[in-house]
């Protein structure tokens, strides 16, 4: 069964010229599109143009979307294509050290074991609570990640694309995707760890 607010259902309505379906899709994805666009172009104004262009591409190209990939994958691929053909900052590389550890080396003793116990997050700390309480910190931490890490985490964990789709959208290798995801998620965990520790004091 197709849920009425699924992308699929909205696309069917969009094909029939339904403006409100379009606006629901825009509210759903515009924020993420802007974030990803921002990592490809030099400023917010250009990012907004690229995103607008992407939505025009959606409205005009909807008849040709055959659903071989998910709508999201298609959408982000249009975005990245538009961003790249806008010709700016294509080869910007993140300056992050690929050997940077997931957890700071000083947390471990000479044998490689944890120097201090890891405080388990209390059993009442579930992801809903974290998202509700620390959402703004988490969002800020996500925005603060090196660009490619942010793109990968945004597409994988916020948008829920699979790893193959992310590789396709961003034009990166499976191995690269893994490293970027690992670094990005590790960084977010460490931010939350600090936030929760601060709460406990």
Partner 1 sequence: MMRTLRREDLVCRQVVELVNDYLEGDLSRRDRRRFERHLRACPNCTAYLEQMRVTIAATGRLTPEDLTPEARDEFTELFRTWAGGGPDAEGDSGDEA
Give the residues lining the site for partner 1 (CB under 8 A): 17, 19, 22-23, 26-32, 52, 55-57, 59-61, 64-68, 74, 77-78, 81, 101-103, 105, 108, 111-114, 117-121, 125-128, 130-131, 134-135, 138-139, 142, 153, 157-158, 160, 163, 178, 181-182, 185-186, 188-189, 192-193
Cβ nearer to partner 1, comparing 92 with 139? 139
> Cα(187)–Cα(166) distance, rounded to whole angstroms?
19
Shortest separation between residue 2's beta carbon and partner 1, angstroms? 19
Give the shortest CB-93-to-partner 1 separation in angstroms.
22
77 within 8 A of 60, measured Cβ to Cβ:
no
Give the E-state strand segments of 56-128 in sequence order.
Answer: none
**Tokens 């917010």, residue located:** 44
Smallest separation (angstroms) from partner 1 to the CB of 75 = 10
Q: Under the phi-then-psi rule, with left for phi > 0, alpha for psi from -120 to 50, and beta for the rest, what region is 130?
A: alpha
Q: Which CB sits closer to partner 1, 28 or 89? A: 28
DSSP 117: P
- Of 77 and 89, nearer to partner 1 (C-beta) is 77
- 59 vs 92 by CB, closer to partner 1: 59
For residue 23, the minimal CB distance to partner 1 (Å) is 6
* Smallest distance from partner 1 to CB 107, Å: 8
173/83 Cα distance (integer angstroms): 19
Nearer to partner 1, 26 or 88 (CB): 26
116, 107 contact by CB (below 8 A): yes
Tokens of 130: 């974290």
Rank residues 14 and 41 by Cβ distance to partner 1 and give the closer one.
14
Residue pair 162/155 in contact (Cβ under 8 Å)? The answer is no
Q: Measured between alpha carbons, how far is 61 from 153 in angstroms, rounded to an integer?
A: 27
Q: With contact defined as beta carbons under 8 Å apart, do 153 and 185 qualify?
A: yes
Considering the complex, what minimum distance in angstroms separates the CB of residue 141 from partner 1?
A: 9
């Amino acid at each position: 069964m197709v849920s009425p607010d699924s992308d699929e259902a909205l696309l069917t309505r969009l094909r029939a010229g339904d403006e409100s379906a379009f606006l629901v899709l825009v509210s759903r994805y515009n924020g993420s599109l802007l974030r990803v666009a921002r990592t490809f172009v030099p400023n917010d104004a250009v990012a907004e143009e690229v995103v607008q262009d992407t939505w025009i591409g959606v409205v005009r190209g909807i008849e040709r979307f055959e659903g071989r990939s998910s709508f999201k994958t298609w959408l982000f691929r249009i975005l990245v294509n538009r961003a790249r053909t806008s010709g700016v900052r294509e080869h910007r590389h993140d300056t992050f050290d690929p050997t940077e550890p997931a957890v700071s080396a000083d947390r471990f003793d000479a044998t490689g074991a944890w120097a201090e116990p890891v405080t388990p997050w209390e059993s009442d700390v579930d992801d809903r609570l974290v998202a509700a309480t620390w959402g703004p910190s988490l969002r800020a931490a996500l925005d603060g990640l090196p660009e490619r890490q942010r793109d990968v985490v945004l597409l994988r964990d916020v948008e829920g694309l699979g790893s193959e789709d992310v590789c396709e959208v961003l034009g990166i290798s499976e191995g690269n995707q893994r490293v970027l995801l690992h670094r990005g998620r590790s960084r977010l965990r460490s931010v939350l760890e600090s936030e929760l520790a601060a709460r406990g004091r």
